[in-house]
A and B are shown apart, each in its own frame.
Chain A
Amino acid sequence: MSEGLLGSEWFRLILGLLIVLGFASLNALFLVWLERKVAGHIQLRPGPMEVGPHGLLQTIMDAIKLMGKELILPAKADRKLFFLAPVLVFMPVLVGFLVLPFGPSMIIRDMNLGVLLVFAFSTFTVLAILAGGWASNNKYALLGAIRSVAQNVAYEIPLLLAVMSVVLMVHSLSFSEIVTSQKSVWFVFVQPIACLIYLISATAETNRAPFDIPEAESELVAGFHTEYSGMGFGLFFLAEYTNMFIVCAVATSLFFGGWNGLFGISLGIPGVFWFLFKTYALIFILMWVRWTFPRVRFDQLMNFSWKVMIPLSLANLVVTAIVLKLI
C-alpha cells in the first residue's frame, strides 16, 4: 500500500507513533487512578474522590504537581547517568507498543520478530534501574538497584522459556500469527503452566508486589528511586505502569487469545475491545495481588526463581516439544 501521502509507510509509522505516545500516556494516567481505586476498595476505603468525579482527574493533577517540582540532583551524583536513567527506563518500553496486536489489522508494524522485539527492549529497564541507583550516590538506592538487577535477570529466564513454549507451538515469533492461531481455543487451556509461569515472572519483571523489593518502601525508603524528585520520579512511575500494560498485553496475545473471542464466539464485539478488556483484567489481577500479599524476602525470591521457576519452565518446554513431535 503505497499510494499518495495517506498510504505511505512513513505516514503510517508517524501516525502510529503519535497514537502510541498518546495511548501510553492516557493508559498510564488511567492505570494510576485504577491502582489507587483498587487499593482503596480492597482496604475498605473509597480512594480518591475529590478531584473530578470519583477522583478521575486526580492523576492529571498529580502529574502537573510532579512537573512543577524542583529537580534535585544529590551532591556527588553522576549527573549524566542520573538524568539519563528515567529517560532510559521509559523510552524502550514504548517500542513494545509497535508490535502489539490490538485488533485484526491494528498493529503498527506487523514484524515477524515481534515477540523478540518486545522482550529485547523491555530488558532495558534493568539497565536504567541500575544506572539510576548507582548514579544517586546513595547506599539505599544502590542496594535497591543491585537487588533489582539480580531479580530481573533471574526472572527473565522463566519468562522467556514460558514464551518459547508458545512459540514452539505456533512456529512463529510474529504476534499476529500467534493470535490468529488461537481462534478456536486460547493457549491458556493448552499451556496452563506456561501461563502461570509467565504471569509470575511478569510480576517480578515489572517489580510489582510481592516482588517489589527494589522499591521496597518500608525497607529501603524508596529503593532505587529514593533520590529522584519531580519529573524524574514521575517518569519511573509512568514507566512502571506502561511496562505493566505491555506485559499484560503480551500475556493476552500469547495466552488469552488476543483479539479473539472465547472459543471463537466473538458476540459481534470488535476484536480491539476483547483485547483491551482482557489486558485490563490481567492488570486488575496484578493490582489485586499487590494489595493482598506481603513482600517476599530477597533470598527467598531468588531461590524461588532458580530452584522452582526455571526447572519448571524447562520441563514445560521439553514436554511441549515432545508432545508436538508426537502429534
Chain B
Amino acid sequence: MAEQDNTQEYRRIYTLNLGPQHPSTHGVLRILLDLDGEYIVKADPVIGYGHRGHEKMGENRQYKQFLPNASRLDYLSGMLFNHGFVLAVEKLVGIEVPERAKYIRVIASELNRISSHLLWFGTYIMDLGGFTPFLYAFDDREQILDILDSVSGSRLTYSYCRFGGVTRDVDYKFIDMTRAFLKRMETRWADYDDLVTKNIIFIHRTRGVGIIDEELARQYGVTGPNLRACGVGFDVRRSEPYEVYDRLDFEVPTGSSGDALDRYYVRFKEMQQSCRIIDQALDQLPGGDFLTKKVPQKLAPPKGEVYAAFESARGLSAFYLVSDGSPGPYRCHIRVPSFGNLNVLSEVLPGTLVADAISILGSIDVVIPEIDR
C-alpha cells in the first residue's frame, strides 16, 4: 500500500481510487491505481466490501438450510450455483436423480448462463459509452426471467434444484415459452451483430486491449471465457461431464489472442451454444419423475469430503464439502472463478490507460459478491 507522502515535493505518480462507489465496477470493488498521467503504473484491487460469511454460515447449517445461500454467492448465475451445490450434496450422499430432472436442470442452468451473459453484454457496452444495447439485452433477459419465474417462483436467486431433482415439474407452458424464446433469439443475434460486433468504435476499444495469454492464465487460475479466449478449450462440461452434458452436442468456442474482443466473441458464441443445448435438451426431455422420493429429511452423509466442479457463467466453480456425518458440513468451501479472474488484473492493468482499465474490467466479467462470499 502506498504510504502517505506528506511532503510537498513533486510526485509524478498520483494515486487514484477507482471505486468502491463507481458506475463501472461490477459490485463493490476498489482498485487503487497509481497513475502516471493517464497510464496505470500499479493496480491493486481491494475487495471484501461484500463479505457475508457464507463459508462460516455453511458450517453452522444443515445442507438443506444452506441451499438458498448457494445462489446468493454469484447472484447472476444463481441457478448454476444452486445446481452445483445440489450436485455436490447428491454426490456426497449418493442420491440418484431421475433423468427428467437432470434434463430440466440442464435447461434451467443454460437459460441462466444466457441471462448472465446477456447482462454482462449490456453492462459492458454501457461501460464503454453505448447505452442502447443494454436495454435490448435486458429485454431479452426479461424473457428468460419470466420463463424461470414461472417454474421456480424466483427471478434472480433460485432454490429450484433440490437434492434428488427439482421442486416443480415443467409443463407445456414452460416448454412453449422456452421454444418461443429460442426462436426470438435467432433473429436477435444478427441485431446484436450489427449494433455492436461490427461497430468500429467498439472494435477499436477492445482489440488488443487487456491481453491475457495462456501462461498468465495458468499462473492465476483463470478459467471460463477469459481462458477460452486465449485459445485453451477448457470447459468443465467437457472435461468432467455432469448431468447429461455428455449426451448433448455443443461446441466450446475459443478465441486466439486473449484480448477483450476475443473474450467478447467467446461469450457471444457461448450464448448461441447454450441455445443449442437447450434446444437439444427440450427434444430429448424424457417423461418420469422430477424428484426422487427416497431422499430422507435428515441427510446422513458418510464421513469424508466431496469436491464437485461445475461450469458457471464465469468459469470453473466448485463446492468443497467436508462431512463429519452430521446433517451439515464441517467445512464448506466454495471455489469461485472470479477470484483468479480479478487477481490477474494486477498484472494486466499496468501499462494501460485508465479508459482501457474500464474496458478490461468489464471484459473479464467479475461479480464481486462471489469473490467476497
Contacts and interface: CB of A to CB of B under 8 A. Distances in A.
B302 interface: no
A71 B100 CA distance: 63
B32 to A, nearest CB: 13
Interface in A122-144: 139-140, 143
B132 A296 contact: no
A323 B127 CA distance: 46
B139 interface: yes
Nearest to A147: B38
A294 B139 contact: no
Contacts, number: 77
B132 A297 contact: no
B135 to A, nearest CB: 4
Interface stretch (B199-207, B241-249, B310-318): B199-207
Nearest to B17: A139
Interface in A264-305: 291-300
Q: In the complex, which of the residues B23, B195, B199, B356 has the most CB atoms of chain A within 10 Å of its own CB atom?
A: B23
B288 interface: no
A298 to B, nearest CB: 6
A44 B201 contact: no
B129 A210 contact: yes
B130 A45 contact: no
Contacts of A209: 129
B136 A39 contact: no
Interface size class of B (residues with CB under 8 A): 20 to 34
B354 interface: yes
A226 to B, nearest CB: 12
B131 A295 contact: no
Contacts of A221: 22-23
Of the candidates A39, A45, A297, the one having the most CB atoms from chain B within 10 angstroms of its own CB is A297
Interface stretch (A1-9, A23-31, A168-176, A212-220): A212-220
A43 interface: yes
B354 A219 contact: yes
Interface string A219-231: 1010000000000
Contacts of A299: 353
A294 B24 contact: no
A42 interface: yes
B57 interface: no
Interface residues of A, number: 27
Interface in B343-367: 353-356, 358-359
B353 to A, nearest CB: 7
Contacts of A297: 204-205, 353, 355-356, 359
Name the residue in B129, B131, B202, B204 with the highest tally of chain A Cβ atoms < 10 Å from its Cβ.
Answer: B129
Contacts of A296: 201, 204-205
B139 A44 contact: yes
Contacts of B202: 294
Interface string B29-48: 00000000010000000000
B358 A218 contact: yes
A295 B201 contact: yes
Given A139-B16, A217-B23, A295 B132 contact: no
B145 interface: no
Interface string A189-226: 00000000000000000000110110011110100000
Contacts of A42: 132
Nearest to B128: A294
A39 B201 contact: no
A214 to B, nearest CB: 12
A296 B205 CA distance: 7
Contacts of B139: 44
A300 B356 CA distance: 11
B14 interface: yes
B119 interface: no
Given A219-B24, A294-B129, A295-B128, A44 B205 contact: no
Given A43-B132, A292-B132, A294-B205, A218 B127 contact: yes
A300 B204 contact: yes
Contacts of B14: 139
Contacts of A212: 129
A173 B127 CA distance: 42
A139 B139 CA distance: 37
Given A139-B14, A296-B201, A218 B129 contact: yes
Interface in B319-373: 353-356, 358-359
A299 B24 CA distance: 20
Given A292-B130, A293-B130, A300-B204, A44 B38 contact: no
Closest 6 CB pairs of A and B: A295-B129, A294-B130, A294-B128, A43-B135, A294-B129, A218-B24
Interface of A: 39, 42-45, 139-140, 143, 209-210, 212-213, 216-219, 221, 291-300
Given A218-B126, A298-B355, 13 more contacts: A42-B132, A44-B136, A139-B16, A212-B129, A217-B23, A218-B23, A219-B24, A219-B355, A293-B129, A294-B128, A294-B130, A294-B205, A297-B205
